Structure 1
Amino acid sequence: MLPSNHRPALQQRQSTAMSNRNSGGSCSLVLPLWLLLFLAILRLPAAAVGTCHVVTGMCGFDGPLPFYLETGYVEVDERLGVQLFYYFVRSERDPDKDPLLLWLSGGPGCSGISGLAYEIGPLQFDAEGYSGGFPTLLYRPEAWTKVSNIIFVDSPVGTGFSYATSEEGLKTGDTKAVKQLLIFLRKWLQDHPQFLSNPLYIAGDSYSGLIIPSLTLEIDRLTSTIVATLFGHPMLVTKNSPARPCRIGIELGEEPRFNLKGYIAGNPVTDNQFDTDGHIPYLHGMGLVSDELYENARENCGGKYSAPCSAACTEAIQAIDNCTRDINLQNILEPACPDELWSPKTLAETDGTSRVMLESAVILSGFKCTQAKYILANIWGNDATIQESLGVRKGTIGTWIRYNRDLPYTGDIQSTVEYHSRLATKGYAALIYNGDHDAGVTPVGTQAWIRYLNLTIVDDWRPWYVGVQQVAGFTRSYSSSLTFATVKGAGHIAPSYKLLECQIMFRRWISQKPL
């Protein structure tokens, strides 16, 4: 997620998560990242190591759950005691053949419950019917789990119910998250071998736009190494060990590799320059900035707003910020959310007087801003009965917060444009979509970096429809199997606004049909 006062795109990420980029980046490594990840995975034991818990019902939901829900932990760093928590929902159509998605929510620091209950999953909190007390959960038939198996993971460590037994283990960042997710997926598939042959997609939204293509590329590299080994190419050997076929999660002779098919990125944070440079043109195009203000900024900044080149440029940007400071950048049609709704302290307080005051504020707000709905998750996630039903290990976390904004996090992946380029040349399917009312990660910025890839257009800009000729957005497809789409009327985290339209978009794309 991007905070409601995020302006322009990615600047808050730069001032917080990115403040330590130069101190811990991968550029100081002697070996390439993919090779280090590969060697780390080779050291993993072959035996299954995860623990899982089947959830058939929970407080707040009326009756048994109408879908298969499993929760559990996977250890991704034995030395530091890092355990990633997950929610897994089987496809309600054909779990043996339907795709398997690893869904990564944004932040960094948003729990997997964001995907499960606010974005694409089969649950939702009943915000409209909420009048205080414990929140009610409802079933959502428009969920993506109607046609796919989905793992919602609390990543990075420190998010949701994920934890570490050491202080050092809680220190994380982009590159470390990718490494641990790779280990997570390997071990999870080892514990669930029935899904090894299912088409695999890495998916998510918002800040995970930096993680998704990075993880997808690392999986491709590992898979390619294994394939080369199997077909007689030089084998990768470690020091003081004999040459031998490589192994990922299962013994050689069974399924030797991930069945990776592609990736999905919604409203994706991708590159500070592209994302931020699209911000002001978007505001102008939506009628939120006058022609004069826009032309002044364009002339003084040369169309480059991510790194102001002069005092005149800085002043022009500031003038636009002053005009739009009270706009909800997550969805320009919604009221701006009070800052206290984003305070970690506010979101964490769910007991006694604080809880009563918090519930009152939520009820009085009438949930007119999307962020208010997230408070229901914090009430739900801190309930002891809920934690017991989910199989949460006692004493492993303190107060549960849906969005932990206080992670000791290093943003050391600055751009994934080159990653998208590499994946495009390899032919992996990619679905990139934007809610067209998101002023934080705008369709303008996303289209700019896609244009930079210099791909061949095979199906040019056109509307895509749902129902009886109802325009749901606009789309363009490329020869490299990349599809871009806008979702009309949606803000940041498009499915949280237009779930049915997004499910139809996903169904068509995953079936290799035009949108």
Structure 2
Amino acid sequence: MELVPWHWPALLLLLRLSPGIALVQPVEQGKEVWDYVTVRSNASMFWWLYYANNSCKNFTELPLIMWLQGGPGGSSTGFGNFEEIGPLDDELKPRKTTWLQSASLLFVDNPVGTGYSFVNQSDAYATNLDMVASDMLVLLQNFFDSRPEFKTIPFYIFSESYGGKMAAGISLELYKAIQKGSIKCNFAGVTLGDSWISPVDSVLSWGPYLYSMSLLDDRSLTELTKIGEKLLDAMNMGLYEWATQLWADAETLVEQDTDGVNFYNILNKNPPELAKKMSQEFTQHHLVRLDHRHVRQLHKDKLSALMNGPIKKKLGIIPDSVTWGEQASLVFKNMQKDFMKPVINIVDELLEAGINVTICNGQLDLIVDTMGQEAWLRKLKWPELTTFSQMKRKPLYVNPESYDTSAFYKSHKNLAFYWILKAGHMIPSDQGEMALKMMRMVTGQEMN
């Protein structure tokens, strides 16, 4: 479905003055389209595309970026769009560091059931990475067939958190589909942001990281290390559900012994209401605790009100029976057997295939801390890894006049790594200018 974009300030004024008035469509520069794709008979996935809005270049001269959120169950069209890289923030004010100035942006609510996407049967939720990738390939085939103007434009997948794990699997299947000729697009690379590629490496690194930051003492470090040893045993035996419970136990210990450190930025604390809720639910199932920490926090009251109010009205095609974010917890629950499975081997396959792979991580992230990312990186079997590892990092600055180091990076052949300073899990939210610069570098629009 193609619609002329709203003029947001006018829309807000209209809603304030006349709450009951029917919405109209003023013309504005730029273009947006959105639609559903039935990826399976009982499952529909929602996508929302913004054409690049650059005063000097046509959208055909700029790349197309698909953004994938984490969770699983976090909404790309909501969180990634209004909280991180889209043209407007959650107050519908223009974002200075929107990626739309340098790329067309495709937000997809995946897996099915996430955001505005929905399933019609309880057994239709994705339960593993293979299903997630299969559904996405149906959507991408439909997207490129219906919007042929994007078939030759460089197409990049950018991701965050669990979205990185999904992006790795999707990228490999997309590459295979392109080789077979079933999908025609100019796939140019994938970026794994603070990504859940090897969960065990992340959890095992929490203790040393928090200890080095004075957030754990010797006693707490010892206790957390014991949980880590059990987790490693569970992984080695292929007992992934038990591993998931141990992951939850490790998080609970961290929360208690750090006085509520925030898993997405260690310089922050969890708000009192979340700490109270988590304390009350300590005795409940580990999936309930994990869901509250990693899915429901992406569906804040303010964002939910926006997505289920003005945005839903604007889009006009969301079924009345669908509430943004309502199925998120079920998406998360149905993926539980897949949570702890590593996908390092998939990253190896991507590199071997010559696909450009970029890894980026926020310095202050805990849930997927940089130490854990570096740990799984060392496990790659990529023949060029030794050369990559021996290279010296280069500092990055957001502008030539700045003396403040914003990041470090290095790249070799088709692998790059960005260490983003002063950023937590959501890099574009914490360091918008650096995230934008990184995106431009990854897509070849800017040099160091």
Does TM, normalized by the shorter one, top 0.5? yes
1:273-329 superposed Cα distances (whole Å, 9 cap, x missing partner):
2121121121122232236754x469x7598573379xxxx9x97976642251112
Give the distance between the partners of 1:450 and 1:277, measured in 2 at CA.
14
Give the distance between the partners of 2:193 and 2:211, measured in 1 at CA.
23
As a proportion of its length, which structure holds more helix? 2
Give the distance between the partners of 1:110 and 1:199, measured in 2 at CA.
26
Equivalent of residue 427 in structure 2, options 479, 487, 494: 494
Deviation at 1:152, TM superposition (A): 0.3
Alignment of 1:313-332 (within 5 A): 322-332=256-266
Q: 1:176 to 1:338 in 2, by over 3 A?
A: farther
Give the distance between the partners of 1:307 and 1:57, measured in 2 at CA.
53
- Aligned counterpart, 1:506: 439
C-alpha contact (below 8 Å) 2:127/2:337 kept by paired residues:
no
Q: Does 1:55 align with 2:5?
A: yes
Equivalent of residue 153 in structure 2, options 186, 198, 204: 198
Q: 1:507 to 1:143 in 2, by over 3 A?
A: same
SS where residue 44 of structure 2 aligns? strand
Give the number of the structure whose alpha-carbon radius of gyration is greater: 1
Q: Does 1:464 align with 2:396?
A: yes
Deviation at 1:472, TM superposition (A): 0.6
Q: 1:477 to 1:403 in 2, by over 3 A?
A: farther
Equivalent of residue 269 in structure 2, options 305, 313, 335: 335
C-alpha contact (below 8 Å) 2:203/2:228 kept by paired residues:
no
Q: TM-score, normalised by structure 2?
A: 0.78
Structure showing greater relative contact order (alpha-carbon pairs closer than 8 Å, 6 or more residues apart): 1
C-alpha contact (below 8 Å) 2:81/2:87 kept by paired residues:
yes
Deviation at 1:448, TM superposition (A): 1.0
Q: 1:426 to 1:392 in 2, by over 3 A?
A: same
Q: 1:417 to 1:380 in 2, by over 3 A?
A: same
Deviation at 1:386, TM superposition (A): 3.3
- Aligned counterpart, 1:430: 357
C-alpha contact (below 8 Å) 1:272/1:306 kept by paired residues:
no
SS where residue 373 of structure 2 aligns? helix
- Aligned counterpart, 2:52: 91
Deviation at 1:141, TM superposition (A): 2.7
Q: Quick one: which amino acid aligns to residue 260 of structure 2? A: D
Deviation at 1:388, TM superposition (A): 2.6
Equivalent of residue 73 in structure 1, options 4, 12, 36: 36
Equivalent of residue 400 in structure 1, options 321, 324, 330: 324
C-alpha contact (below 8 Å) 1:264/1:432 kept by paired residues:
yes
1:65-87 superposed Cα distances (whole Å, 9 cap, x missing partner):
6542222111211x32x221111
**Greater displacement, 110-119 / 408-417:** 408-417
C-alpha contact (below 8 Å) 1:61/1:137 kept by paired residues:
no
Give the root-mean-square deviation of aligned CA atoms: 3.2
Equivalent of residue 276 in structure 1, options 200, 203, 206: 203
Q: 1:461 to 1:285 in 2, by over 3 A?
A: farther
Q: Quick one: which amino acid aligns to residue 79 of structure 2? A: S
- Aligned counterpart, 1:104: 68
SS where residue 433 of structure 1 aligns? strand
Alignment of 1:376-387 (within 5 A): 376-383=302-309, 385-387=310-312
C-alpha contact (below 8 Å) 2:397/2:403 kept by paired residues:
yes
SS where residue 395 of structure 2 aligns? strand
Q: Quick one: which amino acid aligns to residue 474 of structure 1? A: F
Deviation at 1:269, TM superposition (A): 0.7
Q: Does 1:212 align with 2:189?
A: no
- Aligned counterpart, 1:418: 345
SS where residue 191 of structure 2 aligns? strand
Give the distance between the partners of 1:66 and 1:373, measured in 2 at CA.
30
Q: 1:504 to 1:264 in 2, by over 3 A?
A: same
Q: Quick one: which amino acid aligns to residue 463 of structure 1? A: P
Give the distance between the partners of 1:417 and 1:342, measured in 2 at CA.
36
Tell me how many residue pairs correspond in the alignment.
390
Give the distance between the partners of 1:302 and 1:335, measured in 2 at CA.
23
Q: TM-score, normalised by structure 1?
A: 0.69
Q: Quick one: which amino acid aligns to residue 68 of structure 1? A: K
C-alpha contact (below 8 Å) 1:270/1:417 kept by paired residues:
yes
Deviation at 1:118, TM superposition (A): 0.7
- Aligned counterpart, 1:390: 315
**Greater displacement, 111-120 / 57-66:** 57-66
Q: Quick one: which amino acid aligns to residue 260 of structure 1? A: F
Q: 1:61 to 1:501 in 2, by over 3 A?
A: farther
C-alpha contact (below 8 Å) 2:255/2:261 kept by paired residues:
no
Q: 1:297 to 1:485 in 2, by over 3 A?
A: farther
SS where residue 263 of structure 2 aligns? coil
Q: 1:514 to 1:427 in 2, by over 3 A?
A: farther
Q: Quick one: which amino acid aligns to residue 439 of structure 2? A: F
Unaligned runs of 5+ in 2: 15-25, 235-245, 279-295
SS where residue 388 of structure 1 aligns? helix
SS where residue 463 of structure 1 aligns? strand
SS where residue 486 of structure 1 aligns? strand
1:126-148 superposed Cα distances (whole Å, 9 cap, x missing partner):
xxxxxxxxxx3111131111111
